[in-house]
Amino acid sequence: MLGRAIDVARTERAIKMAHTDADTTDKFASQISDLSRFIANVPLEKRPEAFRAICAAGAYLIQQGADHSLIVDVLVERAEAHSLVEVLGGREAVEKIISDALREADEAPRQNQLEPVDLWGNFEPPILPRGLLPDLIEDYAFTQAETMGVDPGGVAMAALAVCAAATPDNIELVMKRHSRDWTESARLWVGLVGLPSTKKSPIISLVIKPIARLDAQLLRTFLSEMQIYEQLDKDERKGTAKPVQRRLRLEDTTIEGAQEVLAGSPNGVLMVQDELSGFFGSMDKYSGHRGAAKDRGFWLQAYNGGQYALNRVGRGAGIIPNLSVSMLGGIQPDVIRRLSSESYDDGFLQRMLLIVMRPAGIGKDVYPYSKNYSKLIERLTELQPPPTLNDDDVLRFDAAAQEVRDRLEAEHLSLGHVESINRKLAAHIGKYDGLFGRLCVVFHCIQHAFNPYLPAVVTVNTAERVAKFMREFLLPHALAFYGGILRLADDHDRLAAIAGYILARRSERITNRDVQRGDRTMRKLTRRDTDSALEQLEALGWLTRTPGPRLSDPPHWTVNPVVHEKFAARAKEERERREATVMLMKGLAG
């Protein structure tokens, strides 16, 4: 006896066979007739269930272009041929089963259809939520933002970059339960993206004041020690160690200058760039025949931290114990868009937390909340690794916090599937596992900076706050940057051209051949480019890939009907634009 599983399996196979580009409805009707033959092998009591499955297949064929009335007539005829009319309760009952199947088939795609992404829309950066940051940083960010009339998110992220640089690199967080191979320290790269009117430079100048003051003290001490050392005679110098330049800040520097500073600054420094465009340009300006790639490699290593071996002609060999640089700078949208398109994609940009700044407004004359922030930065530079029972002097997650980290790793892996739409965004999200650890170190150290000693355990409360901060603030800013400033997809212009074509023609399906017959942008596409663009539109909820009737046949793409409802106004604009272009061409042709 054939059960429901066999009925469903046969129906699924039949539906797959029904994928076709046939030009005549007779072929569709023939398929329904062939499909219904297996009902003869089904026991009488099972035939109503089998017939409902056949109706579902018929509904699918109608969606693919078969004549509605013809398919209904064939289904009724099949019901009569297999003695189902009386079993099902008469002809009206049969017709109701058929109509219900057609209605369900029509509603199902809409329920399961992805919401299509607006290819012409803007991704607005989020407002900094309250309750996520350590209290001192949150109070400082919102108070200073109110005073200056600026985006508090920019102030907060700039302050976090300074805190990360002030926190010694020897405070490390072990990321896994049973292995010490993966640790993270407080090291962040932050870029404020916006027009000059967003007041990026005043924000940066404000937040770096405490660390700049501490760095100036270190520099004065070094210069004083060097002055004394240089006054020693030759024999005295042999028995005296040369002063080491320990710093907390770098600004205008070459790689050679940075190497000298970092050799004596194992706890890391803050690279401050009022205009990051100048920093990117300096890689070419000073690198000479060596090329910018070597400079970029140095800074990428400085993001990772760890030992760095030097072998320099005329200056000998040496080891930088810990090549560690946090970074803070600003850049304008059009400049970073150009740099992104022109530069080699080595992941440099994706390591930065790029905050899309909101327009500035009028500031208020309120009491600034800066004294505690200055004390915090000073205290962070004095922190020591936590004392532990096993003397490994590292931070570890508690059990619940470790579960948060494990869960986030799975989330980030899932988010990485956006690679089919935007490779740069996917590469940025790929840094989130390590970023989570770095932010946990920063949050933990800020929260306990004024304690007698640093606790060795990062709690679930801290882990949850960091996770929520990344999800509700950093990720939306990444979308605003990669989806807005750099545009949503890697081939945005191509996608927009095809989407406009679909809207203007009210297309229900599209093929590679249709794309080749489109506008000038579309006609330039190769077969590979076309396939890639259509696959990206599928990922964006615009299309669904439908295979041809034979394996050797090319697929076509079914248009999500929601696009014609959601973008009706855009469709009208596209039709008017195309009609105007045609009229203009006719006018020029005389």
CA distance 344 to 441: 31
Q: How far from the centroid of its chain's Cα atoms is residue 28's Cα? A: 44
Output the pLDDT for position 36. 59
CA distance 47 to 50: 5
Task: Give me the domain span that covers residue 74.
Answer: 4-112
Q: 246 and 229 in one domain? A: yes
Region for residue 5 given its phi and psi (left: phi exceeds 0; alpha: psi -120 to 50; beta: otherwise): alpha
Backbone phi, psi, residue 201, to 5° = -65, -45
Backbone phi, psi, residue 558, to 5° = -85, 130
- pLDDT: which is higher, 294 or 114: 294
* Maximum separation of any 2 CA atoms in the chain, in Å: 117
Q: Is 556 exposed, middle or buried (0-12, 13-18, 19+ CB in 10 A)?
A: buried
- pLDDT bracket for residue 3 (50, 70, 90): very low
In the block, which residue shows the tokens 């600003």? Answer: 330
Q: Assess if residue 560 is contained within a domain.
A: yes
Task: Tell me which H or E stretch contains 392.
Answer: none
pLDDT over 50 at 15, yes or no? no
Q: 468 and 501 in one domain? A: no
- Residue-wise pLDDT for 24-48, tens only, equals 455 555 656 655 565 666 666 676 7
Average pLDDT on 453-470 reads 95
Q: 521 and 476 in one domain? A: no
Nearest Cα neighbor of 542 from 71, 22, 113 is 113
Q: What is the CATH number of the domain that holds 255?
A: 3.40.50
Nearest Cα neighbor of 481 from 336, 300, 313, 306 is 336
How many structural domains comprise the chain?
A: 3
Secondary structure (DSSP) of 154-178: HHHHHHHHHHHHHS-TT--EE-SSS
Q: 450 and 505 in one domain? A: no
Q: How far from the centroid of its chain's Cα atoms is residue 30's Cα? A: 49
Mean pLDDT score of the chain: 80
Identify the DSSP state of 321: S
Tokens standing for residue 482: 């990669």
Domain boundary among 457, 485, 513: 485
Domain boundary among 44, 78, 112: 112
Q: Assess if residue 161 is contained within a domain.
A: yes
Q: 478 and 412 in one domain? A: yes
pLDDT over 50 at 428, yes or no? yes
Q: 351 and 205 in one domain? A: yes
Domain boundary among 60, 78, 112: 112
Output the pLDDT for position 286. 45
Q: Assess if residue 75 is contained within a domain.
A: yes
Q: 454 and 500 in one domain? A: no
**7 within 8 A of 42, measured Cβ to Cβ:** yes
What is the C-alpha radius of gyration for the chain, rounded to an integer number of angstroms?
A: 32
Q: Assess if residue 544 is contained within a domain.
A: yes
Q: 511 and 475 in one domain? A: no
**510 within 8 A of 528, measured Cβ to Cβ:** no
Q: Assess if residue 121 is contained within a domain.
A: no
pLDDT over 70 at 582, yes or no? no
Read off the amino acid at residue 328. Answer: L
Nearest Cα neighbor of 37 from 54, 19, 62, 56 is 54
Task: Tell me which H or E stretch contains 329.
Answer: strand 325-331
Q: 259 and 295 in one domain? A: yes
- Residue-wise pLDDT for 235-253, tens only, equals 888 888 889 899 999 988 8
pTM over 0.75: no
Q: What is the CATH number of the domain that holds 513?
A: 1.10.10.10
Nearest Cα neighbor of 36 from 21, 13, 53, 12 is 53
Nearest Cα neighbor of 198 from 252, 150, 135 is 150
Nearest Cα neighbor of 149 from 390, 360, 461, 395 is 360
- pLDDT: which is higher, 56 or 192: 192
- pLDDT bracket for residue 439 (50, 70, 90): very high
Q: 499 and 378 in one domain? A: no
pLDDT over 90 at 266, yes or no? yes
Q: 311 and 433 in one domain? A: yes
CA distance 216 to 249: 9
Distances (CA, A) of 555 to 20, 262, 510: 10, 57, 10
Tokens standing for residue 298: 């140095």
Q: 288 and 256 in one domain? A: yes
Q: Assess if residue 120 is contained within a domain.
A: no
Q: Assess if residue 481 is contained within a domain.
A: yes
Q: Assess if residue 119 is contained within a domain.
A: no
Average pLDDT on 142-155 reads 94
- Residue-wise pLDDT for 342-379, tens only, equals 666 678 889 999 999 988 888 888 776 667 999 999 99
In the block, which residue shows the tokens 């034979």? Answer: 550
